[in-house]
Amino acid sequence: MNIHEYQGKELFRAYGVPVPKGHVAFSIDEAVSHAKDLDSNIVVVKAQIHAGGRGKAGGVKIAKTMEEVRTYAKELLGKTLVTHQTDEEGQLIQRLLVEEGVDIQQEYYIGLVLNRETGRVSFMASKEGGVDIEEVAENTPEKILYEEIDPLVGLTAFQSRRIAFGLGLPKKAVKQGVDLFQKLYKLYLETDASIIEINPLIITTEEQLIALDAKLNFDDNALYRQDRIRGYRDESEEDPKELEAGKYDLSYIALDGSIGCMVNGAGLAMATMDIIKHYGGSPANFLDVGGSATTENVSNAFKILLSDEKVQGVFVNIFGGIMKCDVIATGIVEALKTIEMNVPLVVRLEGTNVEKGREILEKSQVEVISAFSMDDGAKKIVEATK
Amino acid sequence: MSIYVNKDTKLVVQGITGSTAKFHTKLMKEYGTDVVAGVTPGKGGETVEGVPVFNTMAEAVTETGANASVIYVPAAVAADAISEAAESKVDLIICITEHIPIGDMIKVKRYLEDKDTVLIGPNCPGVITPDECKIGIMPGYIHRKGHIGVVSRSGTLTYEAVHQLSELGMGQSTAVGIGGDPVNGTSFIDVLKRFNEDPNTHGVIMIGEIGGTQEEEAAKWVKENMKKPVVGFISGVTAPPGKRMGHAGAIISGGKGTAEEKIKVMKAAGIAIADTPSTMGETLVSLMKNRRT
């Protein structure tokens, strides 16, 4: 789960990681009012969307007067911002962060991320702050410092010192840095974060470390035990169909094709998308009904699939392990009692209770094109939607 | 003689009184798995599907000599269940549970480091040695006894591969689901090593997906060590970057973990790639034929 920069900074504040003085604004007047409160020569007005690259895309403005704050707030609020991390439609700016400007002496990159190869969290740092870290990793990997964190002892003070010295922090700032890095790790651990990035972490002309940006992402699997983080959720930044699917414990991702897919198991669901493409069709979505789908959930999955106007056919591909074929079949039959099915439906069932499932479909009034293998099903749905 | 599980495996079911566990305990027993105990704290003394229930793993293992455990408990308590199983000294722990917080798994992995127990999963369908032992949620009837090893991150794609193999008359030595989580107990390499040394396994199908670098690491190992033919399939060629495709571990991030990259590295290592999920079986058949001639 993503959160906005201003929310990340709120968390930083709570954990003692220094951030510029600032406040979120939801309207132009609020923006100006908060800017006045800052009492600063320079006010930075920043678009708040769940995507990076806002600066390059014109989503970050430096204002020297209240008039400029008003102008920039007007320019940004309610407009869509397209960055290299959004799709071509961009994202609607509904919130702004109004912040004091700070004097930058040096910029650094700080990141905490899971290292999948070791199953441990990595603390990354680089003197190349404020630039695209992926480019740095690609071209000059030696410029990135890594400390692997042993979960037994956490990010140790000696590791933090190594990073501080490795970054060449001025003497006065070393202790500050050590303290800051450890607080970051504490935050990472206690909030079940997956990624924390500060790009840039800056040191001011007064040798004060400040996090100028805050990009935090959280483990969806841990949200149940993170009330505060759940409270930061901004549903307007999410696809409404994906949100709806989430309510029914379905894993759904919208794509831009015309063949709706309902599959059990993420690997099989991805493979179903792949095989449809292989035979010349294009998948409209990824949908994993999972192993614990009830008849109700399956019906709801169907409704979400069919609510996508682009869908010109549906392929249900089920290989039942925990998922029972009769549950899917009942779900399909029930769903189609209340929804209009005007597009071809290909169903391929295999696995636990397969005979029961096939029987339920046969006995129902539902018009189904039966498939006996995944290959058969993919070919049939592509043919039927040509 | 197959890997991880066989007819001598004695299984404890953790969470046995839950409905999913009960359902699958019945199916595992019907398949012939020797289910000797169940554990649900507070339900010690009860019986489920003829299996005695204990309050703790320590008790279950002491009383029954169980040497493997399967976990069907909710995500919020699954890490603790894994730890309890490890402490009880069973040889093998198979965790079916999905949605365990990554932070919990990081700690569990650390806890397991100095213990001899093997963890497979979490978020996996289990392990089956056909006609001997089925641990997990896979449909038993599609499997046939034979000589092909199957290892996969995806449960249902494993069933596809097994089904194809069985239809082609090629039985399986052992099918292993390592699961779809980013932090797990057993990697592709761990399983491939065992298949390599198992005299009963003559060929392998490995099924991967986007996210992480397990397949690339496995390919490197295969190139240098694998004596037996390997067919691979990678799902997610059409997956968009930055989106978690169901499995917690199935995500392309920072340009890394794409299906294309995995396929490229695997091909370079001599692994034959099935270009659709429905040709995994036949790709292995031709690969093995070609190696014989």
Quote ipTM for the complex: 0.93
Q: List the one residue out of B221, B277, B249, B264 whose CA is nearest residue B121.
A: B249
* A212-269 confidence digits (pLDDT tens): 999 999 999 999 999 999 999 999 988 888 998 888 888 999 998 999 999 988 999 9
- d(CA A158, CA A143) in angstroms, rounded, equals 20
Q: How confident is the model at residue A139 (pLDDT cuts 50, 70, 90)?
A: confident
B246/A286 touch (CB, cutoff 8 Å), yes or no? yes
The sign of the torsion formed by the CA atoms of B71, B246, A7, A107 equals positive
Residue A362 has pLDDT above 70, yes or no: yes
Count interface pairs A-B at CB distance under 8 A: 166
Mean pLDDT across chain A, nearest whole number?
92
Residues of A with Cβ-Cβ distance to B207 under 8 angstroms: 267
- d(CA A222, CA A250) in angstroms, rounded, equals 17
A151/B138 touch (CB, cutoff 8 Å), yes or no? no
Residue A11 has pLDDT above 80, yes or no: yes
> Which of A259, A270, A287, A380 is the best mutation test for B, with the most CBs of B within 10 A?
A270
- d(CA B242, CA B253) in angstroms, rounded, equals 5
Q: How confident is the model at residue A342 (pLDDT cuts 50, 70, 90)?
A: confident
Chain B (32-61) residues lying within 8 Å, Cβ to Cβ, of chain A: none
Residues of B with Cβ-Cβ distance to A382 under 8 angstroms: none
- d(CA A229, CA A27) in angstroms, rounded, equals 24
CB-based contacts of B14: which residues, under 8 Å, 6+ apart?
B21, B38, B39, B40, B57, B69, B70, B71, B72, B73, B81, B84, B85
Higher pLDDT, residue B252 or A108: A108
Q: Quick one: DSSP state of residue B67?
A: -
A267/B125 touch (CB, cutoff 8 Å), yes or no? no
- Catalytic one among A108, A109, A185, A188? A109
CB-based contacts of B54: which residues, under 8 Å, 6+ apart?
B37, B38, B39, B44, B60, B63
Q: How confident is the model at residue A366 (pLDDT cuts 50, 70, 90)?
A: confident
Please tell me the predicted confidence (pLDDT) of residue A47: 96
- d(CA B134, CA B145) in angstroms, rounded, equals 12
H/E element holding A345? strand A345-351
Chain A (199-238) residues lying within 8 Å, Cβ to Cβ, of chain B: 219-222, 224-225
B278/A373 touch (CB, cutoff 8 Å), yes or no? yes
**Which among A251, A277, A321 has CB closest to B125?**
A321
* A165-176 confidence digits (pLDDT tens): 999 999 999 999
Is residue B197 within 8 A of residue B226, CB to CB? The reply is: no
Whole-number Cα distances in Å, B22 to B29, B95, B129, B145: 11, 15, 21, 26
Residues of B with Cβ-Cβ distance to A219 under 8 angstroms: 101-103
Please state the pTM of the whole predicted model.
Answer: 0.94
Active site residue B24: no
H/E element holding A25? strand A22-25
What string of pLDDT tens digits covers the 293 residues of chain B? 589 999 999 999 999 999 999 999 999 999 999 999 999 999 999 999 999 999 999 999 999 999 999 999 999 999 999 999 999 999 999 999 999 999 999 999 999 999 999 999 999 999 999 999 999 999 999 999 999 999 999 999 999 999 999 999 999 999 999 999 999 999 999 999 999 999 999 999 999 999 999 999 999 999 999 999 999 999 999 998 888 898 888 988 878 899 999 999 999 999 999 989 999 999 999 999 988 76
As a 3-state breakdown, chain A gives helix, strand, coil percent values, each rounded to 5, of 40, 25, 35
- d(CA B275, CA B234) in angstroms, rounded, equals 9
Chain A (272-331) residues lying within 8 Å, Cβ to Cβ, of chain B: 272-275, 277-278, 283, 286, 288, 290-292, 319-322
* A285-317 confidence digits (pLDDT tens): 999 987 666 778 778 888 899 888 999 999 999
Q: Which parts of chain A fold into alpha helices (H)?
A: 5-14, 28-38, 66-76, 133-139, 157-166, 171-190, 227-230, 240-247, 266-278, 295-306, 325-338, 354-363, 374-384
Residue A141 has pLDDT above 70, yes or no: yes
Please tell me the predicted confidence (pLDDT) of residue A292: 61
Residue A158 has pLDDT above 70, yes or no: yes
- Catalytic one among A10, A99, A128, A197? A197
Chain B (137-166) residues lying within 8 Å, Cβ to Cβ, of chain A: 137-139, 142, 152-157, 159-160, 163
Can you say whether residue A32 is alpha, beta or left, with left for phi > 0 and alpha for psi between -120 and 50 degrees?
alpha
What mean pLDDT do residues A197-219 have? 96
Please tell me the predicted confidence (pLDDT) of residue A299: 82
Residue A322 has pLDDT above 90, yes or no: no
Active site residue A109: yes
**Which among B98, B102, B277 has CB closest to A114?**
B102
Is residue B101 within 8 A of residue A192, CB to CB? The reply is: yes
Q: How confident is the model at residue A126 (pLDDT cuts 50, 70, 90)?
A: very high
Return the number of other C-beta atoms located less than 10 Å from residue A29's C-beta. 11
Please tell me the predicted confidence (pLDDT) of residue A293: 60
Beta strands in B130-245 (DSSP E): 133-136, 145-152, 172-177, 203-209, 230-235
The sign of the torsion formed by the CA atoms of A334, A335, A341, A343 equals negative
What mean pLDDT do residues A311-330 have? 87
B246/A265 touch (CB, cutoff 8 Å), yes or no? yes
- d(CA B130, CA B144) in angstroms, rounded, equals 6
* A39-74 confidence digits (pLDDT tens): 899 999 999 999 888 988 999 999 999 999 999 999
CB-based contacts of B233: which residues, under 8 Å, 6+ apart?
A271, B157, B161, B205, B206, B207, B208, B273, B274, B277, B280
CB-based contact, B185 to chain A, within 8 Å? no
> How near does any CA of chain A get to the CA of B84, in Å?
18
Is residue A316 within 8 A of residue A346, CB to CB? The reply is: yes
- d(CA B5, CA A177) in angstroms, rounded, equals 51
